[in-house]
Structure 1
Amino acid sequence: MKSFNFLLEGTNNKPRDSGLTMVLDKGLGFDTAKSLMEVSGDYVDYLKFGWGTTAIQDFNLLKEKVAMYKSFDIIPYVGGTLFEIAYDQNKLDEFLDRLKKLGFETIEISDGSININRPDKLDCIKKVKDMGFEVISEVGKKNLVKDQEITIEDRANFINEELDAGSSKVIVEAREGGKSIGVFDDEGNAKEEEVNYILDNVDKNSLIWEAPNKNQQVFFILQIGADVNLGNISSDDITSLETLRRGLRGDTLGKV
């Protein structure tokens, strides 16, 4: 029972179809991560091991962390950068085999740092899904200039193509900083017209909006609802985000 359960309206227990939170693990120690999940694990749905961080972590420790996150009904997966490295080195089969041995059942497929033509990316999504993995893909580039070359129409079309190919969710790229990428301007403010265009053309529950900053989280909650799917949430901000979703902070009090 929550300490002030009588002040909470409604429930959104796991497994959830909406209101998903994807948290970024940038190298937390096992004990730190476990303690954090004991406090906030109810509010985490996906746990992304950021970028290529898992490549330099001990195999047994990483396997133990994967199992620990799963014990809290959290889906762990590695960031798309590691997939891109494996793809670029023509070691995709070895990469997928190692993921299975570590206990991962979900994979992120992206092309944010390297160039993969559209048919090849879609084929990767189909192949990996056929192997039994849940696929989360990502649309957008990490290079500011290249990302800005993607029109909003293309961004929405790419998302739908990847969903059709087998992705369960598609992440709208914003990087860890949340500025000048995707639907955010140079100040980190959401471009409302572009957000609305995507919402008009894509099933909202299929999207995970990367929103690392508080003002972005508030925007999406007020614009779309408390059940919006948000990603790249810092491990320090799990509880903070949940209070925003539930109207327990001034930013959303009486508005959700």
Structure 2
Amino acid sequence: MIRDPLPGRARKPRSVGLTMVIDKGLGLGPTRALLELAGEYIDFIKLGFGTAALYPEGILREKVALIRGCGVEPYPGGTFLEAALLQGRLEAFLAATWDLGFRTVEVSEGTIDLDHRDRERAIRAARNMGFTVITEVGKKDGSQELDPAAALSRIEADLAAGAAKVIVEGRESGKGVGLYDREGRLKLGLLERLVAGLPDPGAIIWEAPLKAQQEELIARFGVNVNLGNVPPEEVIALEALRCGLRGDTLRLAIEGARPAAR
């Protein structure tokens, strides 16, 4: 009917403009409905935190197969792998995760602490099994402010070890953690210090569950910014933001132009 007011949106298969959905316990029916409606706009579905451990095994296998069959990659939340590391069961966790049909895992230390060697070892162990590895920087405890220098060091090391993308922590609330203050506003100075040291901003997935955060990151990085922790019910609305089909980003398309006469 019309062109996207904000042009250039990457189509699948893509390596930028990724959307990661956080799934806190959708059943098979709602998952199927989400994929039928919005699968074209979703790249990853994260089964949040350790929820994958609580599914009946048959349903989990069916859900993983359903998601992957629609061209979307599911993966268990990083907290699940953190629990495995805490118990010294990384290899068993990876083997079971592979057997269940997952082909992507997240390596994080949002709650536990890992030294550089243990983190690299976890990334390489997953890569050697054939997994795509996504890592995460930042703590879930809001009292531990993100250190740009430390985060950049982690990002560089993770990518060198074989991580495909690195998530910047924002939790499912998007408030009082990582790049966000208690009201969910971006800490712009912190963001700029982090971005200034990034060799490739396209390697980052910014957790941005709130619309204002998504809008600001799209304005800052463009329509193909990678965004994560998007609630399932917000996928279509986010895609509208990316394409300039929502007033908040349509204004970006008209800042230097006027609508053509009909």
**TM class by shorter-chain length?**
over 0.9
CA distance in 2, matches of 1:101, 1:154: 35
> Which residue matches 1:60?
58
Shift in Å at residue 92 of structure 1?
Answer: 1.3
Percent identity over paired residues? 42
Q: Is the 8 A contact 2:184 2:213 kept in 1?
A: yes
CA distance in 2, matches of 1:11, 1:205: 14
Partner amino acid for 1:31? G
Matched, 1:238 2:214: no
Higher relative contact order (CA 8 A, sep 6+): 2
Paired residues for 1:1-256 under 5 Å: 4=1, 6-8=2-4, 9=7, 12-145=10-143, 147-148=144-145, 150-202=146-198, 203-256=200-253
Shift in Å at residue 94 of structure 1?
Answer: 1.4
Partner amino acid for 2:32? K
Shift in Å at residue 11 of structure 1?
Answer: 5.1
Q: Report which stretch shifted further, 119-128 or 25-34.
A: 119-128
**Normalization by structure 2: what TM-score?**
0.92
Partner amino acid for 2:167? I
Shift in Å at residue 122 of structure 1?
Answer: 1.5
CA distance in 1, matches of 2:189, 2:196: 10
Match of 1:48, SS state, is: strand
Shift in Å at residue 224 of structure 1?
Answer: 0.8
Partner amino acid for 1:234? P
Shift in Å at residue 7 of structure 1?
Answer: 3.5
After superposing on structure 2, the runs of 4+ consecutive aligned residues of structure 1 that deviate more than 6 Å are none
Q: Report which stretch shifted further, 201-210 or 151-160.
A: 151-160
Partner amino acid for 1:54? A
CA distance in 2, matches of 1:25, 1:7: 31
Unaligned residue ranges in structure 2 (runs of 5+): 254-262
